[in-house]
Amino acid sequence: MKVIIIDPDEARAALVAEGLADVRPLEVRRASSFEAIEGELPSFAPDVIVIACDSPDRDTLESLREASSENPRPVVMFVDRSSPGLAEAAVEAGVAAYVVDGLSAGRVRSVLEVAMSRFELMQKLRTDLDKAKADLASRKSVERAKGLLMKERGIDEDQAYSLLRKLAMDTGRPIGAVANDLLTFAGVLKGDGS
Amino acid sequence: MSLERTQLRLGFIALNDCAPLAVAREKGFFESEGLSVDLSREASWANIRDKVAMGALDGAHMLAPMPLAVRLGICGEPARMIAPMSLNLNGSAITVSTALADAMRAAEPQSMQLRPRTARPLATIIAARKAQGLPPLTFAVVFPFSVHNYELRYWLAEAGVDPDRDLRIVVTPPARMTARLAAGDIDGFCVGAPWNAQAVADGHGEIMVYAAELWGVGPDKVFGVTEGFAERHPLTLSATLRALIRAAAWADEPGNRGELAAILAHHRYVDAPEEVVARSLTGAPPYALGEPGPDDQDYIIYHRYAASFPWRSHAVWFLAQMLRWGQIGPEADIAGTAEAVYRPDLFRAAAAELGAPAPLVDEKVEGLHASAWTLDEATAPIPMAPDLFFDGGSFDAAQPERYAAGFAIGRLRS
């Protein structure tokens, strides 16, 4: 497991590291701020990032997750005991990615593992959702393009579909994209979108 | 009727626009509404969001687009957040390093004389850097879902700079902007007061354009709570809003701005030198050392011009920005989200209890008024300020998709 721990408080960072001591193989890097470790991020490719809840770098880390260009990593927040109830509330609210100090070593490890698997699951759900949306949009375009061809060329549905499929194969592009082009050009010919 | 709760814990970030919260506590407005409020300075917007969602905070100072993004499920765990009040208009600015400002002046001395200053000199520098094979410039904002991100992108794109392709936009905490600019890690930033003034005072930065120059009265921060909190504590929320409305009115009195600067500068709040905090509260804050801005500009507004009212048209403008920059796709329910999150009904109820005027309409067309005007559709007529956009555009909340698609540069999803 490759872990980055960002915490200005050395003692707390050491505590998290201690909780992972029996993980093999293990590579831990510690930094007091995100800036201090930013350059190492791409080459180190951590499995999980642990950050102190009171670090102002949280927003920066989140933005990396939002930017599609960066490789997103699960982030676990480390809560100080000075925020009573926060970790409990987080677990209750389904935000598993909070770990509170004073946990036994075994719990630190399991919280990180839960956070990682939950993150993988969320990533997969997101990809599946994007794909499902794209498939649906493509099916709609194909249906509309078929309708257009049937009307303009006076052919039946099967023939219209064959025509679209042939166009797709000839140009080596997905059938949804070909259907979209057809609809766009038809729109232009009719005077839409000037 | 007695309040469901009298003890509250509210969060804020160290910025001049947390003023209504700080003033409500320091000047006794919470107390006179029967509330005992613990204000908690938070380290990040993500913390504010998570703590409010989980109930570790009862409410907080929030970036206006944040509760919308949380509702849409694109910012942290989805939660039903609402914004029953706006905390301020304007307040932010775009600053670049003095080195970059000098380069821009050398490249285009004439356009650098214009106000509001456009990003065209910057476009020239970027093109020259590209031709020389130099790495892209880096600009920082405070959060992906912030008026600062949208403001910077709007300004850049108007001059033909593609904010995603022609430069790098990163996220940096507000209080660390000036240090990173000084260190050369970033070439510019867009952030709220007082951090732009701080960069000028330090001699590391020059303010290119104030938010007030980009949109005469643009929204910025809101007060946010969860819908669950509002439903379980309607009287407490109303009392909180009354205290915040009174505090915002106090903070906007010209005679109180000096005292406001002293309150905010305190280490409990913004924790910055008082004269720096004061710069964007009184008179004419500078563009650069020895170059004051116009003194007739409203650099930050807390109360006047119905500033505290959570306009649905503001919510829809933010959602249109999310559309324009590809943070959401065409499937997002814009009208439904704006209606669920921005709650003018709650604001009106609290204002009525104070006998304070409140708009009777939920939205207005933005960018139509070149001079002061009066909002007659209100419980009492409200004086309003000019609200033009710097590019001469206007915004009709009835057509956000059309607005988002109406720019040459954008990341519209299909």
Q: Which of B54, B143, B176 sits opposite A89 (nearest CB)?
A: B54
SS3 state of residue A51: strand
Q: Which of A55, A63, A95 sits opposite B54 (nearest CB)?
A: A95
H/E/C letters for each residue in chain B? CCCCCCEEEEEECCCHHHHHHHHHHHCCHHHHCCCEEEEEECCCHHHHHHHHHHCCCCEEEEECHHHHHHHHCCCCCCCCEEEEEECCEECEEEEEEHHHHHHHHHHCCCHHHCCCCCCHHHHHHHHHHHHCCCCCCEEEECCCCCHHHHHHHHHHHHCCCCCCCCCEEEECCHHHHHHHHHHCCCCEEEEECCHHHHHHHHCCEEEEEEHHHHECCCECEEEEEEHHHHHHCHHHHHHHHHHHHHHHHHHHCHHHHHHHHHHHHCCCCCCCCHHHHHHCCCCCCEEECCEECCCCCCCEECCCCCCCCCCHHHHHHHHHHHHHCCCCCCCCCHHHHHHHHECHHHHHHHHHHHCCCCECCCCCCECCCCCCEEECCECCCEEECCCCECCCCCECCCCHHHHHCCCCCCCCCC
- Between chains, do B46 and A133 touch, taking CB under 8 Å as contact? no
Of residues A25 and B158, which shows the higher confidence score? B158
- Between chains, do B54 and A63 touch, taking CB under 8 Å as contact? no
> Going by C-beta distance under 8 Å and a sequence separation of 6 or more, which residues neighbour residue B113?
none
**The dihedral of CA B253, B255, B261, B263: what is its sign?**
negative
**Partner A contacted by B331 (CB < 8 A):** yes
pLDDT in tens, chain B (414 residues): 699 999 999 999 999 999 999 999 999 999 999 999 999 999 899 989 988 998 889 999 999 999 999 999 898 888 999 999 999 999 999 999 999 999 999 999 999 999 999 999 999 999 999 999 999 999 999 999 999 999 999 999 999 999 999 999 999 989 889 999 999 999 999 999 999 999 999 999 999 999 999 999 999 999 999 999 999 999 999 999 999 999 999 999 999 999 999 999 999 999 999 999 998 898 788 899 989 888 888 899 999 999 999 999 999 999 999 999 999 999 899 999 999 999 999 999 999 999 999 999 999 999 999 999 999 999 999 999 999 999 999 999 999 999 999 999 999 987
Average pLDDT over residues A109-131: 79
**B251-264 in b/e burial notation, b at 16+ Cβ within 10 A?**
bbeeebbeebbebb
Q: Among all residues of chain B, which has the CA nearest to that of A39?
A: B185
Query: Which residues, numbered 132 to 161 in chain A, qualify as contacts with chain B under a Cβ-Cβ cut-off of 8 Å?
Result: 133, 137
> Which domains, from first to last, does chain A contain?
2-103 (3.40.50.2300), 134-190 (1.10.10.10)
> Going by C-beta distance under 8 Å and a sequence separation of 6 or more, which residues neighbour residue B161?
B119, B122, B123, B126, B167, B409
Query: Which residues, numbered 121 to 180 in chain B, qualify as contacts with chain A under a Cβ-Cβ cut-off of 8 Å?
Result: 142-144, 170-173, 175-176, 180
Q: Which of B55, B142, B185 sits opposite A59 (nearest CB)?
A: B142
- Between chains, do B56 and A86 touch, taking CB under 8 Å as contact? yes
pLDDT of residue A131: 86
What crossing angle do the helices spanning B234-252 and B19-26 adopt, rounded to 10°?
100
- The pTM (predicted TM-score) of the whole model is 0.87
**Partner B contacted by A6 (CB < 8 A):** no
pLDDT of residue A105: 57
**Partner B contacted by A65 (CB < 8 A):** no
> Which domains, from first to last, does chain B contain?
7-90+218-270+301-404 (3.40.190.10), 92-214 (3.40.190.10)
The nearest CA of chain A is from the CA of B312 a distance in Å of 26
> Going by C-beta distance under 8 Å and a sequence separation of 6 or more, which residues neighbour residue B288?
B98, B101, B200, B206, B207
CB B350 within 8 A of CB B245: yes
Q: Among all residues of chain A, which has the CA nearest to that of B40?
A: A83
- Between chains, do A94 and B45 touch, taking CB under 8 Å as contact? no
- Between chains, do B50 and A95 touch, taking CB under 8 Å as contact? yes
Q: pLDDT confidence of A69, banded at 50, 70, 90? A: very low
Q: pLDDT confidence of A16, banded at 50, 70, 90? A: confident
pLDDT of residue A104: 55
* Residues of chain A contacting residue B50, judged by C-beta atoms under 8 Å apart: 77, 90, 95
* Residues of chain A contacting residue B55, judged by C-beta atoms under 8 Å apart: 89, 93
Distance of CA A51 to the CA centre of its chain: 19
- Between chains, do A66 and B170 touch, taking CB under 8 Å as contact? no
**Partner A contacted by B38 (CB < 8 A):** no
Bridge partners, residue B205, by sequence: B97
**Mutation for testing the A interface, residue in B15, B47, B149, B164 having most A CBs under 10 Å:** B47
Query: 3-state DSSP helix/strand/coil percent for chain A, to nearest 5?
Result: 60, 10, 30
Q: pLDDT confidence of A146, banded at 50, 70, 90? A: very high
State which H helix or E strand residue A27 sits in.
strand A27-31
**Tokens 């408080």 sit at which residue?**
A9
Tokens encoding B347? 């604001």
Q: pLDDT confidence of A88, banded at 50, 70, 90? A: low
Of residues A87 and B53, which shows the higher confidence score? B53
**Distance (Å, whole) CA A59 – CA A57:** 5
**Lowest mean pLDDT, pick from A12-21, A172-181, B125-134, B174-183:** A12-21
- Between chains, do A63 and B56 touch, taking CB under 8 Å as contact? no
Average pLDDT over residues A123-129: 81
Q: pLDDT confidence of A157, banded at 50, 70, 90? A: very high
pLDDT of residue A194: 46
Q: Among all residues of chain A, which has the CA nearest to that of B45?
A: A59
Q: What is the mean pLDDT of chain A?
A: 79
pLDDT of residue A90: 63
Other Cβ atoms closer than 10 A to A99:
25
* Residues of chain B contacting residue A137, judged by C-beta atoms under 8 Å apart: 414
- pLDDT of A68 > 60? The answer is no
Bridge partners, residue B168, by sequence: B138
CB B388 within 8 A of CB B370: yes
* Residues of chain B contacting residue A56, judged by C-beta atoms under 8 Å apart: 43-44, 173, 175-176
CB B393 within 8 A of CB B367: yes
ipTM score here?
0.85
CB-based burial label for A29 (10 Å; 0-12, 13-18, 19+): middle
* Residues of chain B contacting residue A67, judged by C-beta atoms under 8 Å apart: 144
With CA atoms as reference, report the closest residue to B214 among B93, B66, B353. Answer: B93
**Distance (Å, whole) CA B291 – CA B309:** 34
- Between chains, do A95 and B46 touch, taking CB under 8 Å as contact? no
With CA atoms as reference, report the closest residue to B85 among B398, B261, B349, B289. Answer: B349
Average pLDDT over residues A60-88: 67
